[in-house]
Amino acid sequence: MTPTGAGRFAPSPSADLHIGNLRTAVLAWLFARSTGRRFLMRVDDLDDRTHSDIAARQLDDLAAIGLTWDGPAEWQTHHPQRYDHAVDALAERGLLYECYCSRKDVQQAPRAPHAPQGAYPGTCRDLTDAEREERREAAGRPPALRLRTDVTTHTVHDLLHGEYTGVVDDFVVRRGDGVAAYNLAVVVDDAAQFVDQVVRGDDLLASSPRQAYLANLLGHPEPTYAHVALVLNEDGARLAKRDGAVTLAQIGMPRVLEQIAASLRFGATTLAGMLEEFDPAGLPRDPWIYSPAT
Ligand code: GLU
């Protein structure tokens, strides 16, 4: 029997969660619980492997505002074999190639006219064995692995953005240091945990076509997406810790939840009350401009 679907929240432990991150977590919880899904917590620590103290504080803060999740939080670094398995499966199908480009190489490479902005220019895609050897020696470091894609775009369905078509390029699935790349890890983890609803900040909307395309390749169903508007500071930039009183430790409870509720135009100020009122169609579509109390 397939377990019921799940939603999730997947913080990266790069810094303490601010009110914008907490608000996205509340929305992910509301979307999951209001549709009878399980709600899972995942620590996306592949890029921040030394920050288990920050991750622990993030989980404490999420619990402190009243969020509950099913089962213990899962940590990406605890199961590298899960990603290796997916990479091996793609490699066996001839879908990966080695890439020796540095970030700078990618930025400076000549682009075909009309090549989409931000797409890998394909420098290492069709190297001969001799060329590959030459680049390997010149780079002096292990290659990243890129997906050999046969499309340039993919369309996903997003509950808030409708049909969204975005770039799918030959993106990295394993970094040169052997660690699974974010786009692969997310897809593999969501599938392994039967996550079928992905609610997260709309800064990741542009990544969703790549991820959905990869999910298809790996034989996994595409999740339903809801990319929610981010929280901005008074200058219109993405909210950050330096903006002042933005973390739970700084704002305190129940104020942080009251502010989140007000920003989402809920009358209720408890999670249970918000769940009763929750209607995705009525969610504000614009970013919330947050002014920390002075
Ligand atoms: N860990 C990612 C982040 O904090 C989010 C991953 C996801 O929700 O797919 O930006």
Question: 102 CA distance to ligand 1 centroid (A)?
Answer: 24
Distance CA 225, CA 208 (A): 8
Q: Is residue 170 within 8 Å of residue 121, measured between CB atoms?
A: no
Question: 82 CA distance to ligand 1 centroid (A)?
Answer: 18
Q: Please state, as a whole number, how many other Cβ atoms lie within 10 Å of the Cβ of residue 87.
A: 20
The owner of tokens 């983890």 is 189
Question: 31 CA distance to ligand 1 centroid (A)?
Answer: 16
From the alpha carbon of 9, which atom of ligand 1 is closest? 8
| pLDDT given for residue 293 in this prediction | 66
pLDDT in tens, 194-223: 999 999 999 999 999 999 999 999 999 999
From the alpha carbon of 11, which atom of ligand 1 is closest? 4
C-alpha distances out from residue 22 to 14, 17, 60, 202, 293, Å = 14, 6, 12, 14, 17
Distance CA 85, CA 93 (A): 13
| pLDDT given for residue 104 in this prediction | 85
Distance CA 196, CA 158 (A): 12
pTM, two decimals, is: 0.94
| pLDDT given for residue 213 in this prediction | 98
Please tell me which residue, 64 or 109, carries the higher pLDDT value: 64
Confidence of residue 3 (pLDDT cuts 50, 70, 90): low
From the alpha carbon of 207, which atom of ligand 1 is closest? 9
Confidence of residue 114 (pLDDT cuts 50, 70, 90): confident
Cis ω before 13 (30° cut-off from 0): no
Reduced to 3 states (helix: H, G, I; strand: E, B; else coil), residue 143 is coil
pLDDT in tens, 149-172: 999 999 999 999 999 999 999 999
Residue nearest (by alpha carbon) to ligand 1 atom 9: 186
Question: 209 CA distance to ligand 1 centroid (A)?
Answer: 15
Strands 96-99 and 74-75: unpaired
Confidence of residue 255 (pLDDT cuts 50, 70, 90): very high
Select from 31, 200, 227 the residue to mutate for testing ligand 1; criterion: most ligand atoms less than 8 Å from CB.
Answer: 200
pLDDT in tens, 9-68: 999 999 999 999 999 999 999 999 999 999 999 999 999 888 899 999 999 999 999 999
Confidence of residue 110 (pLDDT cuts 50, 70, 90): confident
Which structural domains are found in the chain, ordered by start? 6-78+229-289 (3.40.50.620), 82-174 (3.90.800.10)
> Which residues does ligand 1 sit against, CB inside 6 Å?
10-12, 44, 186, 200, 204
Please tell me which residue, 79 or 113, carries the higher pLDDT value: 79
Select from 204, 222, 230, 239 the residue to mutate for testing ligand 1; criterion: most ligand atoms less than 8 Å from CB.
Answer: 204
Strand order, beta sheet including 96-99: 96-99, 144-147, 172-174
| pLDDT given for residue 254 in this prediction | 97
Question: 129 CA distance to ligand 1 centroid (A)?
Answer: 37
From the alpha carbon of 186, which atom of ligand 1 is closest? 9
Distance CA 237, CA 170 (A): 30
Reduced to 3 states (helix: H, G, I; strand: E, B; else coil), residue 110 is coil
Confidence of residue 226 (pLDDT cuts 50, 70, 90): very high
